Every structure is written in C-alpha cells, then in structure tokens.
C-alpha cells in the first residue's frame, strides 16, 4: 500500500519535526504569503511538493498551495499561463524538455543559491547540464531521472535457470551488458503458460513510450566521438533519428514489445511497475520508481528479490559525422537520462519571487529530498550525491544487497561517462508527437522501422525549418551542453 | 399507455423482449457496479485480476476514500464544492435567462433584418481588426470597443428598411440552438485568450467564479432555450390572457403564472443543465487553474503519468457520479409522470 | 397570439447578450486567426498566409484520416444507438415486466462525465486484468488487443459511445411513443395486422420526425467526440482513433499552432454543416410526406 | 356607464381579412350574444374588445374611453374563457383573489371580496382546493368568480359553457342570466350554440364571415330573420328551404317549385311579394310551421319520407320535397313510414320568403 506507507512516513516526519521546532520563530518570516505551485496530479511529484510544503510552512509560516493538473494538461496549462503573463503560479514544476519553451518567462535562480554545500551536493549531470540553459540557471532539479535496469534476483540466481540459459545461449545468465543479451533473457523467460513474461516496457502513446525507445537507441547513437549527435547533427541540425543506429534501436524496442505480457502495447510506466511488482516479468527497464515499488512488500510480490543495474549498452555506435559504425573495445553503456527528472522554477510575473526561491531551497534540501526519495509514491528519485551515498536512509525499504545494487545503478548511470541526455528543444511537443505516432504504427506492424523513422526525420526537419534552423540549432547545442557554434 | 401493448405478440416473444431489455440493463449496470466494487479494493486486489463480490472474493477497504478525503489525490473536497457551486449557480442562471428568452420567443413577436445581423457581424469583425491591427489597441480593448459599437449600429439599422429577408422567432431560435454546433475546442481556447486579455484590463475572469459560470451559462443556453420553448408552448395561452385581462403586468404573468405552471419543465431543464455543467471537461480545463478547478479535471487527472491506479480512479469517479445518480433517480420519476413529454413534441 | 409588449426586450436580451459576448469573440478570433501562420510555442510572430492553412490541411492525410475516423464513430455509434434505443423504448412502452426498475438504470449513463466513463471503460477493457477478458477467456478468447489494435480500439470507442448515449435515444423515443394515438393501433388490431406490420406501418412512420431529430442531435454531438477518445486511447495506436476534435486539440494545445487549428476548426464547422444540411435534405421528402 | 362601441373595425392577418368594417354598439347593462359558425369572427371580435387582439383598423370605445390602443389590463374588462383558464397552481381562493393581489389591495379586502363571491357562486366549500380537484361546472364558476371580483365595466364570455355537459350547461345558463340581473353589467357573450344565444341574450348578434348578419332581440331573430343565413342558422331543427319562384296564378301569388309543389301565398303579404314575381326565391319553412289538419288545396306539400324520429312530445318526419330536404314536426302518432309519401299542410302565414340572389328576406 503505497499511500499508507507514505502517510505513515509523512506523519512521523511531521511529528518529529513538529516536536523539535514547535516554538521556532518564522525564519525567514513569510507568514501571510501563499505560494501556488503548478504540478501534475498526485501522488507522484505533487506529494513530494506537499511534503516540502509542510516543512517550509513550519520553517517560515508561509503557505503553499499545490495545484494539480493531469500530466497531459500540465504543459498547455503552464504555457498558457506563462504566455498570458498571468501571475497565477508562483512556481511551476515541469519536465526539463519544456524548459526551452519556458525560459523567456522564468526568473533566474538567485546567485546565492548557486553555491555552497547543498549546491555542490547536486549530481553534476543535473547541476551542470539539465538545470542550465544558455549558461544560466532558471530551474532546480527536484527529482533525478535516469533509466536503469531491474531484474528478479530469485530467477537469475536459480541454478536450474542458469544451467538452462547457458545451455541455450552459450553465456552466463546475468544482468545483460548488451541489448541483445537483454532480449535473449526476455525470450528465455517468456513463459505465458506459467504467468511469466520476459520484460516490461512502456509502449502506449502518451504513456512515456518514446523515452523507452530512446533508451534502446541511445546505446547505438550516443557516440562519445561526436558528442551531442544523438538526435540532431549538432553542426547542421539535420535530424539523425532515421540513421542505422536508431533503426536498430527501434527494431529491438519492437522485439521487446513481443516479449512482454499480452497487453504490453497498452503499458505506460504505471503498468510496467505493476507488472514488475506483480512478479509477471523477469526483467524490465525504467525509472528508479520501479525498484522502490518492487521492494515494498505491501504492493509487491517480489520484495527482497529485486536487482538493479545500469542499462545495457553496445560496442558499436553510429557516428553521425562519418556516417559509419564506430567500433569500441568494450561495451559502452549509454545510460539515458530519460525525462531528466522534474524541475521546479519561478515565473517572472510571480509576486513572491524571494519566498518562492526559498521554498525551492527547502524542497530540494538534502534532508527533505532525501526523505522524499525513499518514500514510494513521491516519484522522487536520487539526484543528489547524498541520496545515493546514504545507505542507511535506504535500509528502511531495501535489503542491504538490494540497496547496494539500486543505488549503485543510479549513481553509475548518472555519473556514467557516456550518459545520454534527453532532447530539449523549443517546440518539443511538435517533435515528440510525430515520434509517438510513428512508433505506434511501427509497433502495430503497419510500417517498417526504417519507414517510420524516415517519416519522423522528415517531419523533424520540416519543423526545424519552420521554427528557424539557426535558432533551433543554438538551442539544441545548449541542451546538449555544447558551446555555441562559432 | 399508447399503442402496441405487445398484444400481438405471443407469450414467448413477450418474454424474449423482456429478456432483451434485461440484457441491456445489465450492460448498462455492470460498468457502474464495477466502479463501485473497484473503489473498495486494495491495489493488489485490483492487479491480481478481476474480483466481483465484496466479502466473497475480496475484502473491501475504505482506503481509496480515505485517500480522497485526506487530499492525497488532489483537493477533492474543495473541488467537489467548486463543482457544486458552479454547477448549481450556472444551471440556475442558465435556466432563468434561458427560460426568459424561450418565453419571449414563444409569446412575443421578434423581427430581425438579416441585413442588420450582417452589419453587426461585419462591423464587429472589421472594428476588431481595425482597432487591434491599425490603432494599436490590445485584443480585449479592440473587442470591447468594436462589440458595443457594432451592436448599437446594428440595432439602429434594424429599424431601417434594409433589403433582404426578415428573420422571425423561428430563426432566432435556430440561431440560439446552432450555437451548440460550433466545435467547442476552439471556442475554449479563444475564450481563454479573451479572458486573459480582460484580466489584463484588471478584471480577472480566468480561474474565477464569474468567468467559469458565465461561460457555462452561455453554453447551456441553447439547450435551455430549446427545451423550455416546448414547455412554454404547451401552456394554454388563455391562462396568460386571463391574467392580461386582469391587468397583471407581463413580468408578473411570467413569474407568478408561467413559471409555477412550468415548474416541472424548469426543474428537468435545470437538472439536465446541471448534469452538463457538472460533467464538462474542456472549458473547465482551460478556464480554471487552481481555485476553481472542477471534478472532471480532477477525475481525468487520476489517469496520472505513472499509469492507472484503478482503485483510486474508481473512488474518484464514484464521487463524481453519485450526485448524478441521485439526479437520474429524480429525473426518471419525472419521466414516469410524463413531464418530459412537452420537451419533444 | 403573439404579443408585442416592449417588455419582450427585457426577456430576450440577457440571453442574447450572454451568447453574443461569449460566442462572437471566439468566432471572430478563430476566423481571423485561420488566415495567419501563428504559433505560440516556439513564439513565431503571426504572418498572413490567407488560405495557406486550409490548403495545407486539405492535403494532410492526417486530416482526412481524422474525418474518416470521426465519421465512422459517429455514424456507426449513432446508428446502433438508434436501433437499440428504439427497441428498448418500444419494449418499455409496452410495459415489459419490471420496467419501472429499469428506468433509473437506463437513464444513468448519459448523466455521467464522459471522462469518468472512459476511465471505467479502460478498466473493463483491460486485456489481462479486466472482467471482460475473464469472461472471454472462458470462451477461449483471452487477451484481445482491445485498445492496442486500431480496429479493436475503434470498436471499443464505439461501444462506449453506445453505452453512454443510447439512454438519450431511449428517453426521447419513449417520450415520442407516448404521444402516439391509441386509436390507430386499435384500428390496426381490428384489421388483424401483425405486430411487425403495425411497427412498419404505423409506429415507424409516425415516429419519423422525432427519430430524425434524435439522430440529428446525436450525430452533431458525436462529431465533437473528444473526452472519451482522449482518455481511452489518446488517438492511438498511431493515429488510428484520432478524431477531429482530438486532432485540433493536439495541434492547438500541445503544439500551439493557432492559425492551423483555427483553420481546422472552420473546416470542421463546414463539415458538420454539410453533413447536417445533407441529412436534412435527404430526410425532408419523408418528413413532409407525413405532414 | 359602460357602453361598448365598435366602429368600423377591421382585422387582418397579413393578406387574410378576418373582419371587415364591423360596427356594433352594446348598450350599458345589455347582454349581447355573438353567435355564428366557427371562423365567423365572433371570438376575434370579443378578443379585440378585450385587447387580446390588436385592431387593424377602426375604433373601439368602452364607456366614453377610446381603448383601441390600450393594453388589455387597462380596459377594465373581465373575461371568462372556454377552457376556464384557471391558474392550476393556485387554490380557488387564490385564483379569485389574484387580480386584486397583483393590484396591491389590502389582504383583508381581498379575503372579503373572495368570500362574497364564493357565497354568491356556492364555492365556499372549495376555496382551498386546486382547480384540478373541481368538476367542470365548479371550475367555470371559479372563472366567473374571478371575473366578478374584478368588478369590471364589461364582462366578456368566450364560449364559457361549451366544455360542459348538456345538463350542466342548462343550469349554468340560468345562473349566468341570474348573475346578469344581479350585477347589472354589460355582457358580451360569444357562443356557437344558437339555443344559448336565444335563451340568454337581450340582443343576439348573428355573425358570418366577419360580418354581422343581423342584430336583434331573440324573438325578432327567430321570427323575422333578416336573411337566409340567419334563418338557417337560428332555430333547431333548422329551417327548411325550398327553391322556386313566385308566379301570379288565378289572381293570387303562388310559390312554385320545379317538382310541382304550388303554394298559395297569403293575401296579406301579396303586396310585399308582388315585386318578386318571376324572380328566383327561396321559401323558408320552420319544421313546426305545419298544421295539424288535412291540407287545404294550395297549402300542402308532398313529403317523400326518408326517416321518422319520434321525440316524445312530437315526431320529426324527415324527407324531401322535390330535390330539397325537408323536416316536419308532426304530432305523435302521425301515420308516416319511410318510402311513403305524405301530404303535409303548412302554416303559410308564418313562412318566410327570401330573394335567392341577395339572400335577403323579402319584406
């Protein structure tokens, strides 16, 4: 029971804090201030915001009102409110990919917040890349997101399974290093008659589908020899999404859809978690929530048997510049920072700038965010060094072995040499919509992977031209952490 | 009862017909039953596959409702209150002014020259373009200037002997009803822009009671006018004439005689309008953002980013549905006494 | 008698003003915007393209697909609603046993929020955990791709539309049936007409005007379908279940392509008008014969 | 003083003229009944007096006031409708008192007025009932009561008794007449029932196609109908008409009919009829204008019997004279059977003669 746990934790936290700070004066004093935060419908993220809100209220006497919108409405809601210069929201929580669209309307983070212990504690992948836009900081990460690999240790350590696997595939059953191994394992455990299937990923339109696809493709397209060329050529802004690396990724993504439960095509990430926690699948990829939910005995049939690892990779990566496959001496994982973790920012028109940033500080402080990270249902995954370093914090929900693997996978992914950044571009929705549509066709077998991706590439190039190629190129380079061209 | 009393049918076919209706009832009822039972399930109870009867194949829990009450899935209580306040007042206002208009269309004669209508539209359009593009006004200012000017000129023009056909009451009625034909999607967005522009002039309409209610009143009016016209036409005119001869002023005839006489029709219309407002999604989505969110937004939001949590969705849906269930009961009672007959002649 | 009392203006103007104020702006705004190339995100200043948006749209396969999908949903759903609704109304009118009990249940679906209904439908149609799957698996038809295969998904949406809106047809048809004169049936009874003959000879023709109205209302409303599709499939798989409103929604509020969306909505309005006018033109001879 | 003067009034709906150039004066305290077939304009005329229909042309005065452009409420009329037009949501008492309440009269005086009226109309036990709980006659009395409290200048009745059954209708007739005597007010009463018109009116106004055919006291109407229409409309069973011509034969004027009937017209009226010799005329004979004696020569017709209707006090013999239908009121036990021919003696002193072309009585 997700919420029950959450409730208990919040209450205990609240009681503990109340006891220690019962008579503390409001400092800084924001009594009379009510901050309105736009967020998606809870419990994910919204409940983390409420958790932070309670803390902040205790500290400053200010109030926080969390307003929740359906995920699919959050972007239009924020856009309409920002473009109308409407002072409804003092803070907005959002996906990093939307940042480019929002930047003109956001205020910069106070310089004082951009240093110090808490600042340095934030993982560099967030602090130096996702939170930055054209050299400036407009937002603060409040959640860390990277795709990792989850598997069932009971199956993987079963000697009978190990022998059978080795006999069939000629190598040891272990967390996969390559996507081919990933598919082999899925195929091996595909046993519909026993209620066990290979893997679970999200395949539904509007159900976080394309991030899973990107995870597959990242292994073949995020080339360290030509950085930032995963989605577009950073020199010309030509769409790369139909190159052989992407096609291979898509082929494997489609293959994975056939090695999952029968309704896998209708899975969003929520169903993935349910399938993992229900013990229906042997392995899975997805965000950190999967591990936390699968570890919770109240909602999981496999608690205590959850293993985690970095995403599979590849030793061959497509080079967009030379238009050739580059060979690497060893398998190079390209953990994909899918979505990139929720961020929170302060619109310029907000009336309580100072208070808003103070709330951000409290919300993302190591203590409050650390508590949120281990609470199932907040949707908050590690994004600070202190989150992954503090094993003791996690022992409440994980066994020591689980905790080690889980935190190891999270930390290794974020700090991975070849970590793949998610796409961030103005007009993001226009770009991803066509991906979703074509993915749907390819998954349904209505079109070939190559044709589907060609269609996407054509539309991407058209959109880039419509929005202004130079402008988009500059934005894309900023998003990928590349210096401005010339 | 009229006509075909199934007398021509054998007992067997009579039973078959009854069976068919029963089947349709089951089809209708099952999903509702399903929501009710699912709302009392625990997460594993849902994920583990379908279960049907509480206490027999699963143990019911109140947890989903406790979650709702505690606001873990959004501010349910306040949203419910918002829906109630907006729903009741918008339905009441729409019924009131819609009924007045319907009465006027039934009992008074109106003549509008098509030319005057065109003048209004062209002046409003042209004025809007002129003020906003050439004279540097904002959209809202341009509109607020162009609209009354166009209206006044059109009213004056209506008194002139313009060429072209003259529209009567039936045409005005059609104009009202045809408002329902325009796809709501663009109306919603344009209305959002209008509201924000007016908001810049210092009168907040977005996320306000007035803005949302006004919009619902406007979009309920076509239904109200259409339904109420038929109810009013069913009232014997002599009753009103008797009052006229008795020197009862028109407004008093309407309030003191017509309204009480068509009370059932008004109630039915009110309830239908309430259901429309209560369930409306698109306008609520665009015109509210925090204080005045309504239930459908919250319910839709239960379909959250991280997948379906059916127990919670069911509980939320149930809260939104129950008032409508009560209304269905009331309406069906009215239906039984044949009160809705007047609506469809 | 039509009176001519100046007070009539007091009665009608509030409604006219409210409708004018709330509807004239959207009309003018979309009309003018439909001739612009105008995006809000990323912000591109408006540029006049005259009929450019319309031309692009008419060449866009996705637009025609949306029209086709919407038309399929509207016509199949409304057709079945009419048949089932008429049938149930006839049965109820004939005082089927237990008819009083049925009425509340029969009325309910149309009063529920489409959003909630669609969510419930998703539970029912879940191919592994839903009750429908369990029922079908007893017939050996497990795990049907209800919402993941284009044709199935369309079928499911139509099924939900029928579930939700047949009550409306029942309600109207029942009310209509109750106004039919009894003596005609008595005469037919005396002439020994069978129930079938009575239906085609008397009931159906006499119910034609109200039938036409009911079908018209439902058609127009069905063309605006959005909430149900939005929640059930989001238009997927691919764009197989994307309706006109959903298409407009994606273009307008996800991509903020305002000019294009406005043009789309005007084409939409034209399409609805054409369908409505054709429908009325086709029916007119039949309706007038009855007068 | 509440005379009603209608002067040259016309009413048209678009191109359709309902009433043209109507003139009618109703004296104070007079009971005038407008009678005529449906569509003759009688109800429209009444509604124009009430102000419920606008007047296309002409003037209407009540008392000394020109009310042509006045709205209904200001004309001080009270109207009683065919379907009672009671307010269904009010009790009998409220129905009667509503007009006073609207006019803002004190509650005490309303109660008193309602009580008085209820007493007069025998409605006291029903004051708290709703119209739905009353019988038709009671409802009509409530409608009349509502008119009385108004204490109007003119009472207008629009076919008030046509929804009642025959017995009740006769009772109410008497009541309304009694009421008229007691209230001594001007009454304009519309009906299509000529018996009602004859029994109640001080003056009957027979209307047809938007025109007044004849306005006179009931006896005059009956005995001296001004034209074929009035003659045929008033009286039941209605007057028999035989078409023919007047010829001078053997020093007398004789009415002849193509099939051979020849009736010697009374000497007393020869002077009047002399001008019509040779012209087509219509002979009007009321069914009761037959003599209970054997027919003298030249005063009888041959009636081809089709049907015999024994009514009790007398028997109607229905048949044809030549090509014209003819009904005769005969004594009980008359020897007549279908398909037989009998001779019927006419009281020629009381027959009417009309000019066929103009339809006017020849007098």
Please tell me the distance in Å from D348's CA to the nearest CA on chain C: 50
The whole-number pLDDT of residue C76 equals 96
What's the N-to-C CA distance of chain D in angstroms? 36
The whole-number pLDDT of residue B2 equals 39
Please tell me the distance in Å from D145's CA to the nearest CA on chain C: 25
The structure tokens listed for A109 are: 């983070």
- Euclidean distance between CA atoms B86 and B88, whole angstroms: 6
* Final residue before a domain boundary, out of A403, A423, A457: A403
For residue B51, pLDDT over 80 is answered with no
Rg (CA), chain C: 23
- Residues B183-212 pLDDT 10s: 787 788 788 878 877 887 778 888 889 999
Residue A14 lies in a domain: yes
For residue A132, pLDDT over 60 is answered with yes
Q: Tally Cβ neighbours within 10 Å of residue A474.
A: 16
CB contact under 8 A, A80 and B192: yes
Residue D69 at interface with chain C, using a CB cutoff of 8 Å: no
A52 and A94 in a single domain? The answer is yes
CB contact under 8 A, A104 and C237: no
CB contact under 8 A, C1 and D71: no
The whole-number pLDDT of residue B74 equals 63
Q: Helices (H), strands (E): how many in chain D? A: 9, 19
CB contact under 8 A, A41 and B301: yes
Residue B314 at interface with chain C, using a CB cutoff of 8 Å: yes
Residue A91 lies in a domain: yes
The parent domain of residue C246 ranges over 48-289
- Residues of C within 8 A of B343 (CB-CB) are 175
Strand-pair partners of D309 = D316
**Average pLDDT of B28-54?**
78
Residue with tokens 């929530």: A289
Element (H, E) at A353: helix A353-363
Strand-pair partners of D208 = D211
The structure tokens listed for A330 are: 């060893």
Assess whether the previous peptide bond of A28 is cis (omega < 30° from 0).
Answer: yes
Residues in chain A: 486
A26 and A90 in a single domain? The answer is yes
Residue with tokens 């406790």: B66
SS (H, E, C) D59-106: EEEECCEECCCCCHHHHCEEEECCCCCCCCCCCHHHHHHHHHHHCCCC
The whole-number pLDDT of residue A310 equals 93
Q: Tally Cβ neighbours within 10 Å of residue C1.
A: 13
Residue A348: CA atoms inside 13 Å, Cβ hemisphere, count? 11
CB contact under 8 A, B186 and C262: yes
CATH number at residue C173: 1.10.3720.10
Residue A211 lies in a domain: yes
SS (H, E, C) A67-117: EEECHHHHHHHHHHHHHCCCCCCCEEEECHHHHHHHHHHECCCCHHHHCCH
SS (H, E, C) D337-357: CCCCEEEEEECHHHCEEEECC
Residue A394 lies in a domain: yes
Position A451 confidence tier, pLDDT thresholds 50, 70, 90: very high
Do chains A and D touch, with touching meaning 3 or more CB–CB pairs less than 8 Å apart?
no
**Average pLDDT of A326-343?**
91
The structure tokens listed for C65 are: 């697909």
Q: Pick the most confident of A117-126, A450-459, C122-131.
A: A450-459
Residue ranges of domains in chain B = 15-61, 76-110+168-345, 111-167
CB contact under 8 A, D52 and C5: no
CA A101 to chain centre: 19
The whole-number pLDDT of residue A456 equals 96
Q: Are A165 and A187 within 8 A, CB to CB?
A: no
A166 and A294 in a single domain? The answer is yes
- Euclidean distance between CA atoms B121 and B144, whole angstroms: 14
Residue C19 lies in a domain: no
Residue with tokens 């000129």: B153
CA torsion sign for A186, A189, A190, A192 is negative
Residue C235 lies in a domain: yes
From the list C12, C234, D3, A451, the residue with the least C-alpha distance to B100 is C12
For residue B345, pLDDT over 50 is answered with no
- Residues of A within 8 A of B61 (CB-CB) are none
For residue A23, pLDDT over 80 is answered with no
The whole-number pLDDT of residue C2 equals 58
A13 and A160 in a single domain? The answer is no
Strand-pair partners of A307 = A151
**Average pLDDT of B130-148?**
82
Q: What are phi and psi of A485, to 5 degrees?
A: -70, 135
CB contact under 8 A, B238 and D74: no
Per the structure, the count of domains in chain C is 1
A302 and A249 in a single domain? The answer is yes
Please state which CATH number belongs to domain D240-355: 2.40.50.140
Q: Are C88 and C166 within 8 A, CB to CB?
A: yes
The structure tokens listed for C167 are: 């009550």
- Residues A404-413 pLDDT 10s: 888 888 888 8
The whole-number pLDDT of residue A19 equals 45
For residue A345, pLDDT over 90 is answered with yes
Per the structure, the count of domains in chain A is 2
CB contact under 8 A, A6 and B200: no
The parent domain of residue A251 ranges over 148-334
Report CA-CA distances (Å) from C223 to A416, C78, C174, C212, C246.
Answer: 51, 10, 24, 17, 11
CB contact under 8 A, D52 and C1: yes
- Residues of B within 8 A of C203 (CB-CB) are 3-4
User: Nearest by CB to C178, which of B129, B180, B338?
Assistant: B338
* Contacts A–C by Cβ distance under 8 A: 87
Q: What is the DSSP letter of B256?
A: I
Do chains A and C touch, with touching meaning 3 or more CB–CB pairs less than 8 Å apart?
yes
User: Nearest by CB to B305, which of A40, A89, A267?
Assistant: A40
**Average pLDDT of B278-284?**
89
> Which of D54, D79, D81 should one mutate to test binding to chain C, selecting the residue with the greatest count of C CBs within 10 A?
D54
For residue B342, pLDDT over 70 is answered with no
Residue C23 lies in a domain: no
Residue C185 lies in a domain: yes
The segments of chain D whose pLDDT lies below 70 read: 1, 293-296
Residue C10 lies in a domain: no
CB contact under 8 A, C4 and D71: no
A286 and A372 in a single domain? The answer is no
Between A129 and D321, the more confident residue is D321
Residue A257 lies in a domain: yes
Q: Pick the most confident of A5-9, B85-89, B201-205.
A: B85-89
CA A91 to chain centre: 21
The structure tokens listed for D85 are: 């037009």
The structure tokens listed for B258 are: 């017509």
A99 and A242 in a single domain? The answer is no
* Final residue before a domain boundary, out of A300, A334, A368: A334
The whole-number pLDDT of residue B170 equals 86
Residue B239 at interface with chain D, using a CB cutoff of 8 Å: yes
> Which of B24, B36, B41, B324 should one mutate to test binding to chain C, selecting the residue with the greatest count of C CBs within 10 A?
B24
- Euclidean distance between CA atoms B94 and B10, whole angstroms: 49
For residue A255, pLDDT over 90 is answered with yes
Residue A451: CA atoms inside 13 Å, Cβ hemisphere, count? 8
Position B48 confidence tier, pLDDT thresholds 50, 70, 90: low
Please state which CATH number belongs to domain B76-110+168-345: 1.10.3720.10
The segments of chain C whose pLDDT lies below 50 read: 1, 290-291
Position B102 confidence tier, pLDDT thresholds 50, 70, 90: very high
Please tell me the distance in Å from B86's CA to the nearest CA on chain C: 16
- Euclidean distance between CA atoms A119 and D185, whole angstroms: 101
From the list D200, D175, D161, D188, the residue with the least C-alpha distance to D120 is D175
Under CATH, which architecture does the D4-231 domain have? 3-Layer(aba) Sandwich (3.40)
A125 and A86 in a single domain? The answer is yes
Residue ranges of domains in chain D = 4-231, 240-355
């Amino acid at each position: 029971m997700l919420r029950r746990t959450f409730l208990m934790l919040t209450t205990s936290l609240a009681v503990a804090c109340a006891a220690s700070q019962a008579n503390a004066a409001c400092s800084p004093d924001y009594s009379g201030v009510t901050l309105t935060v736009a967020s998606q419908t809870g419990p994910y993220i919204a409940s983390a915001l409420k958790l932070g809100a309670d803390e902040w209220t205790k500290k400053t006497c200010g109030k926080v009102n969390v307003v929740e919108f359906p995920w699919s409405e959050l972007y239009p809601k924020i856009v309409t409110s920002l473009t109308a210069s409407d002072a409804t929201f003092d803070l907005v929580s959002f996906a990093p990919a939307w940042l480019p669209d929002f930047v003109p309307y956001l205020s910069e983070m106070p310089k004082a917040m951009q240093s110090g212990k808490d600042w340095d504690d934030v993982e560099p992948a967030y602090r130096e890349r996702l939170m930055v836009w054209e050299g400036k900081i407009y937002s603060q990460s409040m959640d860390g997101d990277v795709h990792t690999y989850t598997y069932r240790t009971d199956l993987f350590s079963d000697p009978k399974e190990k022998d059978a696997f080795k006999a069939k595939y000629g190598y040891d059953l272990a967390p996969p290093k390559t996507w081919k191994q990933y598919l082999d394992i899925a195929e091996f455990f595909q046993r519909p008659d026993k209620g066990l299937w290979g893997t679970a990923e999200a395949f539904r339109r509007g159900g976080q589908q394309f991030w899973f696809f990107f995870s597959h493709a990242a292994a073949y397209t995020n080339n360290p020899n030509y950085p930032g060329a995963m989605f577009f050529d950073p020199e010309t802004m030509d769409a790369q999404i139909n190159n052989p690396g992407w096609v291979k990724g898509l082929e494997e993504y489609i293959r994975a859809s056939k090695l999952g439960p029968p309704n896998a095509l209708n899975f969003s990430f929520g169903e993935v978690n349910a399938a993992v926690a229900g013990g229906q699948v042997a392995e899975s990829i997805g965000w950190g929530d999967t591990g936390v939910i699968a570890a919770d005995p109240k909602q999981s049939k496999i608690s205590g048997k959850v293993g985690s690892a970095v995403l599979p990779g590849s030793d061959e990566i497509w080079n967009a510049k030379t238009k050739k496959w580059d060979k690497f001496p060893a398998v190079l994982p390209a953990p994909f920072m899918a979505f990139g973790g929720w961020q929170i920012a302060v619109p310029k028109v907000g009336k309580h700038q100072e208070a808003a940033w103070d709330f951000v500080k409290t919300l993302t402080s190591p203590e409050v965010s650390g508590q949120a990270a281990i609470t199932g249902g907040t949707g908050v995954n590690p994004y600070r060094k202190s989150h992954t370093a503090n094993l003791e914090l996690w022992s409440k929900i994980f066994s020591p072995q689980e905790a080690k693997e889980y935190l190891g996978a999270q930390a290794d992914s974020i700090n991975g040499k070849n970590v793949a950044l998610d796409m961030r571009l103005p007009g993001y929705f226009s770009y991803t919509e066509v991906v979703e549509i074509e993915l749907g066709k390819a998954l349904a077998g209505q079109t070939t992977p190559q044709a589907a991706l060609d269609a996407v590439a054509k539309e991407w190039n058209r959109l880039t031209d419509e929005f202004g190629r130079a402008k988009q190129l500059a934005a894309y380079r900023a998003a990928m952490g590349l210096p401005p061209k010339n | 009862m009229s006509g075909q009393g199934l007398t021509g049918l054998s007992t067997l076919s009579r039973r078959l017909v009854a069976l068919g209706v029963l089947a349709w009832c089951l089809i209708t009822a099952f999903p509702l039953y399903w929501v009710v039972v699912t709302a009392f399930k625990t997460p594993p109870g849902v994920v583990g596959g379908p279960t049907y009867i509480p206490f027999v194949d699963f143990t019911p829990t109140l947890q989903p409702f406790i979650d709702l009450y505690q606001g873990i899935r959004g501010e349910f209580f306040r949203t419910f209150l918002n829906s109630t306040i907006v729903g009741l007042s918008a339905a009441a206002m729409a019924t009131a002014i819609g009924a007045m208009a319907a009465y006027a269309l039934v009992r008074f004669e109106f003549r509008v020259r098509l030319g005057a209508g065109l003048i209004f539209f062209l002046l409003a359009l042209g004025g809007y373009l002129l003020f906003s593009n050439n004279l540097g006004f904002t959209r809202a200012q341009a509109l607020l200037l162009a609209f009354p000017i166009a209206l006044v000129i059109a009213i004056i023009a209506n008194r002139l002997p313009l060429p072209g056909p003259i529209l009567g009451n039936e045409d005005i009625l059609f104009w009202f009803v045809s408002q329902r034909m325009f796809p709501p999607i663009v109306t919603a967005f344009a209305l959002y822009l209008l509201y924000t522009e007016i908001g810049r002039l210092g009168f907040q309409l977005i996320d306000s009671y007035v803005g949302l209610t006004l919009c619902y009143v406007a979009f309920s009016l076509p239904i109200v006018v259409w339904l109420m016209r038929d109810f009013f036409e069913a009232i014997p005119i002599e009753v009103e004439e008797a009052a006229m001869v008795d020197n009862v002023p028109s407004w008093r005839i309407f309030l003191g005689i017509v309204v009480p006489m068509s009370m059932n029709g008004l109630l039915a219309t009110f309830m239908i309008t309430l259901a429309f407002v209560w369930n409306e999604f698109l306008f609520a989505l665009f015109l509210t953002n925090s204080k005045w969110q309504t239930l459908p937004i919250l319910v839709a939001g239960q379909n959250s980013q991280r997948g379906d949590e059916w127990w919670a969705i069911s509980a939320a849906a149930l809260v939104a549905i129950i008032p409508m269930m009560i209304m269905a009961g009331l309406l069906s009672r009215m239906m039984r006494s044949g009160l809705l007959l007047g609506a469809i002649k | 008698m039509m009176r001519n009392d100046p007070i009539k203006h007091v009665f009608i103007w509030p409604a006219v003003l409210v409708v004018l104020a709330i509807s004239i702006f959207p009309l003018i705004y979309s009309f003018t915007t439909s001739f612009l190339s105008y995006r809000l995100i990323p912000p591109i200043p408006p540029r006049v393209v005259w009929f450019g948006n319309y031309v692009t749209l008419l060449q866009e396969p996705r637009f025609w697909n949306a029209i086709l999908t919407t038309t399929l949903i509207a016509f199949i759903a409304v057709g079945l609603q009419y048949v089932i609704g008429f049938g149930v109304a006839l049965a109820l009118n004939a005082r089927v046993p237990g008819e009083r009990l049925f009425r509340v249940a029969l009325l309910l679906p149309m009063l529920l929020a489409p959003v909630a209904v669609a969510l419930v439908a998703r539970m029912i149609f879940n191919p592994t955990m839903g009750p429908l799957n369990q029922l079908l698996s007893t017939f050996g038809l497990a795990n049907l791709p209800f919402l993941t295969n284009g044709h199935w998904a369309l079928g499911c949406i139509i099924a939900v539309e029928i579930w939700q809106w047949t009550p409306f047809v029942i309600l109207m048809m029942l009310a209509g049936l109750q106004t039919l004169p009894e003596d005609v049936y008595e005469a037919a009874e005396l002439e020994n007409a069978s129930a079938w003959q009575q239906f085609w000879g008397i009931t159906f023709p006499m119910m034609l005007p109200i039938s036409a109205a009911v079908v018209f209302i439902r058609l127009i409303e069905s063309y605006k379908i959005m909430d149900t599709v939005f929640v059930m499939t989001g238009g997927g798989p691919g764009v197989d279940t994307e309706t006109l409103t959903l298409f407009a929604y994606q273009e307008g509020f996800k991509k903020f392509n305002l000019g294009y969306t406005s043009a789309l909505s005007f084409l939409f309005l034209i399409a609805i008008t054409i369908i409505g006018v054709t429908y009325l033109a086709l029916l007119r001879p039949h309706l007038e014969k009855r007068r | 003083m509440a005379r009603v003067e209608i002067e040259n009034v016309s009413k048209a709906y678009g191109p359709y003229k309902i009433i043209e150039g109507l003139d009618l004066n109703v004296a104070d305290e007079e009971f005038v009944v407008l009678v005529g077939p449906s569509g003759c304009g009688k109800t429209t005329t009444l509604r124009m007096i009430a102000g419920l229909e606008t007047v296309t042309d002409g003037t209407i005065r009540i008392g000394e006031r020109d009310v042509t452009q006045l709205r209904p409420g200001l004309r001080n009329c009270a109207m009683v409708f065919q379907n009672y037009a009671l307010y269904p949501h009010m009790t009998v008492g409220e129905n009667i008192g509503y007009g006073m309440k609207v006019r803002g009269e004190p509650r005490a005086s309303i109660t008193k007025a309602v009580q008085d009226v209820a007493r007069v109309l025998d409605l006291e036990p029903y004051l708290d009932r709703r119209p739905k709980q009353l019988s038709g006659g009671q409802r009509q009395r409530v409608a009349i009561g509502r008119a009385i409290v108004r204490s109007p200048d003119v009472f207008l009745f629009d076919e008030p008794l046509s929804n009642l059954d025959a017995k009740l209708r006769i009772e109410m007739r008497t009541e309304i007449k009694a009421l008229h005597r007691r209230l001594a007010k001007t009454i304009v009463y519309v009906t299509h029932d000529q018996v009602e018109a004859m029994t109640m009116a001080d003056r009957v106004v027979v209307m047809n196609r938007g025109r007044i055919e004849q306005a006179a006291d009931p006896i005059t109407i009956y005995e001296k109908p001004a034209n074929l229409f009035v003659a045929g409309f008033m009286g039941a069973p209605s007057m028999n008409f035989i078409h023919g011509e007047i010829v001078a034969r053997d020093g007398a004027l004789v009415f002849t009919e193509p099939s051979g009937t020849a009736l010697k017209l009374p000497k007393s009226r020869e002077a009047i009829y002399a001008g019509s010799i040779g012209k087509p005329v219509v002979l009007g004979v009321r069914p009761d204008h037959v003599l209970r004696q054997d027919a003298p020569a030249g005063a009888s017709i041959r009636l081809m019997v089709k049907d015999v209707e024994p009514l009790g006090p007398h028997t109607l013999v229905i048949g044809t004279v030549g090509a014209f239908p003819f009904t005769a009121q005969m004594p009980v036990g008359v020897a007549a059977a279908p398909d037989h021919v009998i001779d019927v003696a006419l009281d020629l002193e009381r027959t009417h003669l009309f000019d066929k072309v103009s339809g006017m009585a020849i007098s």
